[in-house]
């Protein structure tokens, strides 16, 4: 029985396409911080029961002094080094396409791609992202970690929604065209 689980990339980037500065800083995100505004994140996360994240992004979150926020979900940390699972945190070294196929074959909520750029681009290379929710921050970083890298096939998208916010953030929501 097929399940209707979607892989969704939910990410922020600068207007010129960077998700972090050259030193992997996310400080530019604070330019749109606003009391009481989470840009739909809480609603989005409530639709998710599985998270895919790259090891570097996972370690970046931990290095910022935060506890990883998705302890109530199945988390797959994509890495090249074998490690034992810790509770719902699975260190995955296998084929990303096989992982997605396996997850979609099971009942559950949506699957959140929490970054980073390497994982997002690998998923795009293999046409495995069903929806893109991209928050564009009104800043030009000039250099850094580019979200959309070359070496992937062309992919047509359909706009589901776009929304602008008081601090200048524009959120774009697309689905892939089958």
Structure confidence at residue 115 (pLDDT): 85
Structure confidence at residue 171 (pLDDT): 98
- pTM for this predicted structure: 0.93
**78: closest CA among 98, 106, 108?**
98
Helix boundaries (H) for 31-89: 41-46, 55-63
pLDDT, tens digit only, all 178 positions of the chain: 567 899 999 999 999 999 999 998 899 999 999 999 999 999 999 999 999 999 988 888 888 877 778 889 999 999 999 999 888 889 999 999 999 999 999 999 999 999 889 999 999 999 999 999 999 999 999 999 999 998 889 999 999 999 999 999 999 999 999 8
Integer Cα distance of 86 and 54 in angstroms? 16
Integer Cα distance of 167 and 136 in angstroms? 11
Structure confidence at residue 10 (pLDDT): 97
Domains identified in the chain and CATH numbers: 1-20+49-110+127-151 (3.40.430.10)
β-bridge mates for residue 13, sequence order: 136
Integer Cα distance of 43 and 164 in angstroms? 17
Structure confidence at residue 2 (pLDDT): 63
Which helix (H) or strand (E) segment holds residue 157: the answer is strand 157-164
Integer Cα distance of 118 and 173 in angstroms? 21
Integer Cα distance of 76 and 53 in angstroms? 6
Beta strands in the chain (DSSP E): 7-14, 18-20, 48-54, 74-78, 89-92, 110-113, 131-137, 145-146, 157-164, 170-176
Instruction: List all residues 6 or more positions away from 142 whose beta carbon is below 8 Å from its beta carbon.
Output: 16
β-bridge mates for residue 136, sequence order: 13, 170
How would you classify residue 24: left for phi > 0, otherwise alpha for psi between -120 and 50, otherwise beta? left
């Amino acid at each position: 029985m097929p399940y209707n689980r979607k892989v969704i990339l939910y990410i922020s980037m600068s207007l010129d396409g960077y998700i972090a500065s050259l030193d992997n800083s996310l400080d530019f995100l604070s330019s749109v911080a606003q009391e009481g505004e989470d840009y739909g994140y809480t609603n989005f996360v409530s639709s998710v029961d599985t998270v895919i994240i790259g090891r570097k992004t996972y370690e970046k979150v931990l290095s910022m002094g935060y506890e990883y926020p998705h302890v109530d979900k199945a988390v797959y940390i994509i890495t090249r080094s074998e490690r034992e699972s810790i509770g719902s945190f699975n260190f995955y070294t296998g084929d990303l396409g096989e992982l997605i196929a396996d997850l979609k074959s099971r009942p559950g909520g949506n699957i959140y791609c929490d970054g980073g750029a390497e994982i997002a681009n690998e998923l795009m290379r293999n046409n495995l992202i069903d929806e893109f929710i991209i928050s564009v921050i009104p800043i030009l970083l000039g250099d850094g970690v580019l979200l959309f890298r070359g070496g992937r096939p062309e992919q047509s998208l359909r706009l589901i929604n776009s929304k602008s916010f008081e601090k200048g953030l524009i959120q774009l929501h697309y689905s892939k065209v089958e």
